[in-house]
Amino acid sequence: MREQDDALEFMKIGSGTIYSGAFSSIFIGCLLLSYSIQTSADTLKGIRMYNHPSHTRVVLDVSELPSYEVFVLSNPERVVVDLEKIEVVTGFEGPAVDPSGIRVKGFRSARRGENYRVVLDLAEPVSTRSFTLAPVAPYGYRLVIDLRPSLIPPKKPQPGLERNNRRDVVIAIDAGHGGEDPGAVGPKIGKSRVLEKNVVLNISRKLGDKLERAKGYKSILTRQGDYYVPLRKRVEISRQARADIFISIHADAFRNSSVSGASVYTLSEQGASSENARWLAEKENRSDLIGGVGEVSLEDKDDALAHLLLDLSMDANRSASIKLGHKLLERLSHVGKIHKRGLEQAGFAVLKAPDVPSVLVETGYISNPNEARRLSSSKYQDQVSSALFEGIKLYMEEHAPPGTWIAWKREQEGIRYVVVSGDTISEIALRYGTTVQRIKKANDFNSDFLRVGQTILIPSS
Ligand SMILES: [Zn+2]
């Protein structure tokens, strides 16, 4: 249940959720510590509000970091902040609400037992990101909630305008090796030997073409011809292009020539943690480091906090990479043999971007004579690139970042929800502000029976 909520939240507001959840758990440690030193109760002292062009920042000043929960409700649109076990300073007032051109139009608060609830009434739907800040003069502990306009589209989109402000997702395609580095060298077919660098460049180009033709997608190739690009440079190229995902394509050799089949790799945990250390060592990386994840800069953070933030980013990124890897592997299994059923993990340097989900696809083994023959044929290269394209689409249908045309399209169609134990259609309908009839119609259901793990479409209202 909890996981499903997270998944839906993730779809709507991206990785910010991971921050808020994780942030609150990070600070539980601090909370316990401070309880042992101080005996006075945590107190909400005031609320401030800042209007940026892109978002509204709400800051709650507290004497200690509370356990809290932030959630969004609609009809009418509002954000609720529940603070646990907190007192309120005498004479407490809400923030001054400036009614002109901002997202928050009103403010309410009330005590609920030991807890305190703050409600922000909104002029438009928002997504939220929350985190806590340690004292910095003149401020003490703060709970920060950023409100950004959410992607929920207007009821009647104007034709022709739909794509204007919605970007394409960017797929970085990394053809392995190149130039002086031929990669794996296969048997002679025709006049020359099959070289990995040529096979993977062809597959990469075909994949790039398919993506360019698909609405909502853009591709960049980390190498466009037969030349070598250092591994770190490949990662850098994709980060500079603000790639949403990175796919490195290979076709390697194995000492046993009977080994065949495709495999998909993601970064191993060990690879991720050693990379974390390296990134932190290079201070110049800090300012733009988590730009792709939560717009959190590491520049002004001390080492311990920077380390923690980077860990969170790496974790989120690893789990996104795994999801992507599964989709690719699933599609590749329809084209040919799969070397191993599951994803594999390794410390490959090209997979080490901390904020771009990255996978490495071994399309097959050039050391296997039959596979080398297949891999060198244009037809098979086309099939492999189609499978990768389909896998990317499957992934993006669920995980396209907010602000992209694909995410917008998905919102228009509704939300995809995975049924968990105990769910009923009527309860789901209630939760999403729709009706049993509409859900049944959207999914072509004849009965009320739901299967755990089944994905259902919740039509947008
Ligand atoms: Zn290779």
Which of the listed CATH numbers 3.40.50.970, 3.40.50.450, 3.40.630.40, 2.60.40.10 matches domain 169-399?
Answer: 3.40.630.40
Q: Residue 111 CB: number of other CB atoms within 10 A?
A: 11
CA of 380 to the centre of ligand 1 (A): 18
- The model carries a pTM of 0.56
CA of 281 to the centre of ligand 1 (A): 28
Distance of CA 286 to the CA centre of its chain: 20
CB neighbours of 388 closer than 8 A, spacing ≥ 6? Answer: 203, 207, 247, 249, 328, 331, 332, 361
Residue that has been written with the tokens 């080398």 in this structure = 372
CA of 196 to the centre of ligand 1 (A): 7
Angstrom distances, CA of residue 255 to CA of 177, 258, 368? 19, 9, 10
Q: How far apart are CA 50 and CA 136, in angstroms?
A: 18
| Band (170; pLDDT cuts 50, 70, 90) | very high
CA of 251 to the centre of ligand 1 (A): 6
- Supply the pLDDT for residue 153: 43
Q: Which of 342, 441, 433, 443 is closest to 76 using CA atoms?
A: 433
First to last CA, the chain: 23
CA of 72 to the centre of ligand 1 (A): 46
| pLDDT tens digits along 418-443 | 888 888 999 988 888 888 998 998 88
CA of 194 to the centre of ligand 1 (A): 13
CA of 42 to the centre of ligand 1 (A): 57
Domain range summary for the chain, segments of one domain joined by +? 2-149, 169-399, 414-458
CA of 320 to the centre of ligand 1 (A): 23
CA of 181 to the centre of ligand 1 (A): 10
CA of 116 to the centre of ligand 1 (A): 57
- Which CATH number does 2-149 carry? 2.60.40.3500
CA of 361 to the centre of ligand 1 (A): 9
Residue 4 has pLDDT above 60, yes or no: no
| Band (396; pLDDT cuts 50, 70, 90) | very high
CA of 277 to the centre of ligand 1 (A): 26
| pLDDT tens digits along 193-202 | 999 999 999 9
Token pair recorded at residue 268: 């191993």
CA of 398 to the centre of ligand 1 (A): 29
CA of 371 to the centre of ligand 1 (A): 15
Residue 301 has pLDDT above 80, yes or no: no
CA of 178 to the centre of ligand 1 (A): 10
Token pair recorded at residue 169: 């997702």
C-beta of residue 338 within 8 angstroms of C-beta of residue 326: no
CA of 366 to the centre of ligand 1 (A): 10
CA of 183 to the centre of ligand 1 (A): 5
Residue 143 has pLDDT above 80, yes or no: yes
Which of the listed CATH numbers 1.10.3720.10, 3.10.150.10, 3.10.350.10, 3.30.420.40 matches domain 414-458?
Answer: 3.10.350.10
CA of 351 to the centre of ligand 1 (A): 13
Residue 94 has pLDDT above 90, yes or no: no
- Supply the pLDDT for residue 51: 72
CA of 63 to the centre of ligand 1 (A): 55
- Supply the pLDDT for residue 315: 78
Q: Which residue has better confidence, 288 or 245?
A: 245
CA of 184 to the centre of ligand 1 (A): 6
CA of 208 to the centre of ligand 1 (A): 19
Q: Which residue has better confidence, 375 or 254?
A: 375
